[in-house]
Amino acid sequence: MTHVSLPADLRHAAERAKGFMPSNEGAALFDTAYVYGSLGPICEIGTYCGKSAIYLGAAAREVGSVVFTVDHHRGSEEIQPGWAHHDPTLMDPRFGKMDSLPFFRAAIASAGLEEEVIAIVGRSETVARYWKTPLAMLFIDGGHSEEPVTKDYDGWAPHVMPGGALVFHDIYADPSKGGQAPFRVYQRALASGDFKEISTEGSLRILERVDPAAG
């Protein structure tokens, strides 16, 4: 998508951070943010410990943009105790709850991206209700069950500017490979006619909002 490479120090920082994004998908996320970030701000739904925010922030630095990353940092359903992706080191014993915020802050500080990556700590649907700024790129990677991914799409997709990008993570057409809620919402976005698919990489799906002015 672009000839600009992810800086080696930021690639290493992203690979060291806790998270679930393979390097090839992270590189595609960087490429997409580089292409669209010059049009305006980038927003990520689902921060976790900051791995994908490093890829986005690296691109934002290159093009003079900024990344807002939204998460309540108490963990989505699939990373709670008893689930396959649970990481016990993220438990806060004081409250008996997950808390990924300290890990995020450490990852972003270590990467030197505190100017480019801005954390918004709160529920996605609450923040979306008051959000007014058009987005050049929206990356949806929050909760992966039906209700949260639907709320993320309904609340945030309307803010993607014409010609801007909408990116989904963990899209699996085959139910044996992953949950189907993100796949259904991705299909809904395509069926709306508001978005067209630009490219794919692994489980990433990169869409662009149709610009009526472009004819």
Which active-site residues does the annotation give?
A: 144
Task: Give the DSSP H or E segment for 75.
Answer: none
Report the distance separating Cα 201 and Cα 66, nearest Å. 23
CB 17 within 8 A of CB 102: no
Structure tokens at 76: 């989505």
The closest of 10, 18, 95 to 29, measured between CA atoms, is 10
Tokens 């995020």 map to which residue?
104
- Angle (CA) 25-26-29 rounded to 5° is 90
Report the distance separating Cα 189 and Cα 187, nearest Å. 5
